[in-house]
Amino acid sequence: MDEVLWLARCILSESNRTDEQRLVAWVVRNRVETQYRGTTYREVVLEPRQFSAFNADTERRRYLMSLNQTSRFLSWRRAVAVALEVYQAPPTARPFDLSVRHFYSPISMQDGRVPPWARQATPLDAAALGVDPQRFRFYANVDETLDPPPALARGAAPTPARSAVSSHEDRPALRTRARSRHARLSGRVARPARPTTPSARRPTSRPDHRP
């Protein structure tokens, strides 16, 4: 049931109309089934820069996160019903291809802005889906070249791999450091070196006892 609740929170954040909620729910389900930006409904919904209501710690986000099985708001109960319907639906009920994993709402974009990935993609036929294209536009086959993951979009450098030691000259030094590190981690205290006394000097020749 937890997965259904996450799906319901997401579609309620996007629309109050059940027909639009149903299409949004299928987009989320497509993402989960193709493991795009997550493998669970919770991961998909909370993925950064994907569903705007969950991007920042706002009052609206806190309200959506507080909704659960005991919440009795009518709009919430309707969203849960739509989410459960889509969650349990057979694949044959899918209203579009499995590759449809993106959408946006033009009326919700400030100053008429368009998401970067949508500028190079063609939306599905809104009339065939029964939606107003000024309210929602759905897209298929938007890959990571058009919509890169957040880390790549920020230009984060990949984590450098550790270099392997190939020369024999480096290995004794590494073994010495490893032994020293093991001694520190184990709590052992090295024994002090045993003091050495200078040995008596051996005479070079036997003493002469002759008178």
- The H or E element spanning position 178 is helix 170-186
How many angstroms separate the CA atoms of 77 and 62, rounded? 18
CA 21 to chain centre: 25
- Reply yes or no on whether the pLDDT at 122 is more than 50: yes
User: How is the chain split into domains, by residue range?
Assistant: 2-147
The confidence score (pLDDT) of residue 111 equals: 81
How many angstroms separate the CA atoms of 29 and 87, rounded? 7
- Between 90 and 182, name the one with better pLDDT: 90
Percent of the chain with pLDDT over 90: 61
How many angstroms separate the CA atoms of 132 and 138, rounded? 11
Q: What is the mean pLDDT of residues 6-18?
A: 96
* φ and ψ at residue 100, rounded to 5 degrees: -80, 105
- Reply yes or no on whether the pLDDT at 112 is more than 90: no
- Between 116 and 189, name the one with better pLDDT: 116
